[in-house]
Chains A and B, each alone.
Chain A
Amino acid sequence: MPNDIIVHGIEWTAKELFVYPNEYIYWSIQIVMYPYMTGLVAGAFVLSSLYHVFGLKQLKEIAQFSLVFSLALLPVAALPLLLHLQQPTRAMEPLLTPHFTSAIAAFGIVFTAYALIVLSEIWFVYRKYFVEQVHALRDKPGISNGMNRLVYQALTIGAYDVSDDAIRVDKKAARVLAAIGIPVACFLHGYAGFIFGSVKANALWMSPLMPVIFIMSAVVSGIALCMLTYIVIREWQAFRSRRHGGMLKAKEIKGAEQGVIDTAARYLLGFLVAAISLELLDLIFRGYTAMKSWDILRSVMYGKDFMNIFVLQYTLGNLVPFVLLILPGRTLKRTILALLLVLFGVFMMRWNVVIGGQAFSLSFSGYMHYEIPIIPHSLETFKEGLFGALTVISVPFILFWIINKFVPSLQREASGE
């Protein structure tokens, strides 16, 4: 076959027994990344809302951070979709000619609405800080200060009123936006679940529980990632102030961190229990009703994908961190391990849904295996391979680093509250 004609999917699909000729793993690693990253966005936002809406004071610190982090994660929710399209230059079409019977058609609208909510909430929370920066940088010499001041001036959008009344309005607006944001965040992600759950041709995906399962696991992964990043940054700050001789400050940082982590861990556990319960309900229901597809589903779940589903996802990704978090005398190291495992578990859940859903043929008479391209030899094997996924994972951290330069989500004094 000439080199330029390569069937999409053939490079990473291994077929076994009878599979229809056109069947391949069409949705590969990027479609695993899509609900994973969207879930992190939604989860991070829900965590920040726990403070902004429900006033959980213990979560204040992590809430500021989560809010900004969810902004950094936001573009990355759309990135895997873009990388996956066969015609990426036509990516705007779902906005131009949306076909509303399709679950994907609403993505652009929901995504944009959500982005606006996050952006404006951050603006209301940090507006006072922007104004202060503009004033503080006024008389400072140097080009970089001038540039920074210009950025902050742009960020204020001309709203310089920082009277008590104005700040009160800001706070109220932030709270209202956070409250609207919760259902929108849940919708953004629940609807990612709907994209899969509504595919009637796929025996594994089709389930009305899918959106709810997705939301629960999204919150779990979002909280876990925020906690983890928060711990790493706080530890780094404590380490730095210790090195500069500020023992007292280091202790203070550690103390505050412990309190935040304890509270967040409780919420994490709650959502984790909900997510696992729903997933098990789905599994039991499929086994009990034993529809036509159950034979092949069972052979995939208990045979070919047993390792992925029951060992890696349920045991290592759910049960182990659950025990680690709930046992008394939890140390920071143990928490970090548990959080890493939770993130891994949710990733495996996405993997088992997306790849597992294509592990069997529509003929119910054969199997397909996804052999993830490791070393890319073409654009396609890069995008739909390991390095494509790693690119997607690394972008939010780079974005956060940039955003955090202007919106210091980790300085307690910065937010207008």
Chain B
Amino acid sequence: MTCSRRDFLKDAVGGTLATVMPLSAFTFLSHSEARAAVQESKVRWAFLVDTNKCVGCGLCVKACKNENEIPYDAEVTRTWVERYVVTKDGNTHIDSPMGGRDGFTSMEVDGEEIDPDNIEKAFFVPKLCNQCDNPACVQVCPVGATYQTNDGVVLVDRDWCIGCGYCIMACPYGVRFFHPVHKVADKCNFCYHRISKGMEPACVECCAFGARRIANLKDPDDPVTKIIMTERVAVLKDEYGTKPHVFYLGLDANVR
């Protein structure tokens, strides 16, 4: 077979076009787009934390540890409460001993005694998994053991997680850890076993002050959804582009 330079160039251009053109049909779908394409859910779980109401009693942490079988004295937790004490010199003191499980009874913040007269403001901030719409943890899991359900909650498959820790590294919020008994990645899932049965998450149910509430964003009549939609809410660390779904009322600029 002979092939002139002209033929070669012709075939090369034709071949390239034939390969490239169909590729242009592919597009990058976001998680939610991909999910929507498969099956649109009637539920999108979200969370509302009212920091004005939190008193730092730590009942939520206790309830969570018991409900989700996270060893009580192990220094890891699915949810925790942070205490912020801003002093008059402009410094911010933060602590969360045992995740705030036993409340905040000491005037000492991280080993430093704070003079009550010197406090400008002080408040508590509960933290939990943000069930991001664009979850970094799901993106980096090498085996697909952590995944997003079509109602927005990110779950971990304990039978498939290899324990590489990449998801723990990828989460900007530090909500993930290795379960000390199961030796796999673990994190808050809004008590998925409860919310999918019509109950509230353990931390929500036990919060005596209404600081924690769960919402279905797809239900416009949901009272908590109404608050999220109509009031001025904030999210944590939106600069990472993870689209977090835990909304905060009264979030202070000092909160990390």
Contacts and interface: CB of A to CB of B under 8 A. Distances in A.
Contacts of B141: 99, 102
B76 A7 contact: yes
A366 to B, nearest CB: 8
Interface string A292-309: 100000000000000000
B103 interface: no
A241 B166 CA distance: 52
Interface in A2-27: 5-10, 17-18, 20-24, 26-27
Name the interface size band of chain A. Answer: 35 or more
B110 A104 contact: no
Interface string B149-181: 000000000001111111011111111111011
Contacts of A17: 94, 110
Given A17-B110, A18-B110, A365-B256, A104 B166 contact: yes
B25 interface: no
Contact of B99 (A9, A21, A90): A21
B120 interface: no
Interface string B119-162: 00000000100000000101111111100000000000000111
Name the interface size band of chain B. Answer: 35 or more
A93 B160 contact: yes
A200 B134 CA distance: 13
Q: Is the interface of A mostly helix, strand, loop or mixed?
A: loop
Given A93-B160, A200-B240, A101 B139 contact: yes
Interface in A87-107: 87, 90-91, 93-94, 96-99, 101-105, 107
B200 interface: no
Contacts of A90: 143, 160-163
A99 B95 CA distance: 37
A364 interface: yes
11 contacts: A8-B180, A18-B256, A20-B127, A21-B80, A91-B162, A93-B145, A104-B140, A107-B142, A201-B172, A363-B174, A365-B92
Q: Rank and list the top 8 A-B pairs by shortest CB-CB distance, nearest first.
A: A86-B163, A20-B174, A104-B142, A99-B144, A363-B256, A201-B172, A18-B94, A22-B177
